[in-house]
C-alpha cells in the first residue's frame, strides 16, 4: 500500500460489533477515523478479545506495515485472560469451559500485571520502529477487591472503596492497599509513557450524551452516533498532539 495505513485493534467496541444481531456496524469509529485521516484501514479488532490477544496479534501484524502505519489500540478489561487449549489447539480470550486453567493463577494483580506488560511491549515496539501510536481505555476496568468492586478510571476524586480513580495506569490502588505495594507494579507503571494514552475512556465519553442516542437499545455497545463521537475525539487528540506534523 502506498497510502498510510491506520491499523486498529481492540475488542467489540473497536470492531463495531452488534450483539443483538452479530453484524458489525457499517461505520465504526476506525472507518470514520481513517476517512478523516485519509488513510487506508486495517481493523484487526474482534469481540471479546483479551489484552494478551491484542498484544500477540499486534506483534504479528505490525511488521507487515511498520514503515507506513499509524496505530490506534483500544485496551480492554484487564480481567480477560488468554489461554491455549490443547484440546482444540486454539487460543481463547475468555474463561469458558476450561476456566480452571485460568482461575488457578488468576488474581487482580495477575490481571493488571499482564495488561501492563502488554501495553509496555507494544509501546516499546512502536517507539523502537518509529511507529506513531495512540492508546485508549475502552471502558472503566473493574476489579473485585476484598469482595467489593473497585472501578479504575483516570483521576482520583474520592477515597471510598468503590471510587473512580483512573485508567489501567491508575496508582490509587497502590495508595490504598498496602498489600499491593510489595509487587512493584507502581514502579512498572512509571515505565509506560502516557503522552499518547488518551485521558478519556471510550465508554464514558460517549455515555455523557443521552444513552439512547449513543448506545444501541438494550445493549452496552455504542451505536453509530457513539462511534462518530469517538472518532471525532480521537481525530482531535491526534491533531492536538501534533502527530500528523511532517
Neighbours of 223 (CB within 10 A): 19
CA atoms of 229 and 180, how far apart (whole Å)? 37
pLDDT > 70 fraction of the chain, expressed in percent and rounded: 65
Neighbours of 62 (CB within 10 A): 19
More confident residue, 8 or 21: 8
pLDDT in tens, 85-143: 777 777 766 654 445 554 555 566 777 788 888 999 999 999 999 999 999 999 776 54
Asked whether the predicted pLDDT for residue 49 surpasses 80, the reply is: yes
CA atoms of 171 and 167, how far apart (whole Å)? 9
Nearest to 52 by CA among 79, 87, 30: 79
pTM of the predicted model as reported, rounded to 2 decimal places: 0.82
**Which stretch of 24-33, 36-45, 74-83, 185-194 has the lowest confidence by average pLDDT?**
185-194
**How does strand 83-85 pair with strand 40-43?**
unpaired
Burial of 96 (0-12, 13-18, 19+ CB in 10 A): exposed
More confident residue, 1 or 75: 75
CA atoms of 177 and 146, how far apart (whole Å)? 10
Cell of 64: 507487515
What is the maximum span of the chain, computed from C-alpha positions, in angstroms? Answer: 53
Distance of CA 232 to the CA centre of its chain: 18
Model confidence at 83, pLDDT cuts 50, 70, 90, reads: confident
DSSP character at residue 220: S
Task: Of 19-23, 48-52, 105-109, 165-169, give the range with the top mean pLDDT.
Answer: 48-52
CA atoms of 232 and 201, how far apart (whole Å)? 14
Give the contacts of 62 (CB within 8 A, at least 6 positions apart): 7, 69, 71, 125, 126, 129, 131
Amino acid at each position: 500500500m502506498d497510502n498510510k495505513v491506520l491499523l486498529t485493534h481492540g475488542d467489540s467496541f473497536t470492531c463495531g460489533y452488534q450483539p443483538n444481531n452479530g453484524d458489525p456496524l457499517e461505520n465504526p469509529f476506525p472507518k470514520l477515523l481513517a476517512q478523516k485521516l485519509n488513510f487506508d484501514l486495517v481493523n484487526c479488532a474482534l469481540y471479546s478479545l483479551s489484552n494478551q490477544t491484542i498484544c500477540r496479534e499486534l506483534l504479528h501484524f505490525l511488521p507487515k506495515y511498520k514503515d507506513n502505519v499509524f496505530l490506534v489500540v483500544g485496551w480492554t478489561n484487564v480481567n480477560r485472560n488468554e489461554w491455549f487449549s490443547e484440546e482444540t489447539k486454539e487460543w481463547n480470550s475468555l474463561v469458558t469451559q476450561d476456566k480452571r486453567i485460568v482461575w488457578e493463577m488468576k488474581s487482580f494483580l495477575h490481571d493488571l500485571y499482564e495488561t501492563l506488560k502488554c501495553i509496555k511491549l507494544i509501546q516499546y515496539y512502536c517507539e523502537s520502529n518509529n511507529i506513531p501510536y495512540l492508546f485508549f481505555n475502552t471502558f472503566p476496568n473493574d476489579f473485585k477487591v476484598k469482595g467489593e468492586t473497585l472501578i479504575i478510571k483516570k483521576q482520583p476524586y474520592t477515597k471510598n472503596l468503590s471510587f473512580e480513580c483512573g485508567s489501567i495506569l491508575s496508582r490509587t490502588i497502590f495508595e490504598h492497599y498496602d498489600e499491593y505495594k510489595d509487587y512493584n507494579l507502581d514502579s512498572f507503571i512509571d515505565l509506560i509513557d502516557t503522552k499518547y494514552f488518551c485521558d478519556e475512556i471510550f465508554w464514558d465519553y460517549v455515555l455523557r450524551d443521552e444513552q439512547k442516542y449513543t448506545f444501541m437499545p438494550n445493549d452496552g455497545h455504542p451505536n453509530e452516533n457513539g462511534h462518530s463521537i469517538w472518532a471525532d475525539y480521537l481525530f482531535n487528540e491526534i491533531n492536538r498532539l501534533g502527530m500528523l506534523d511532517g
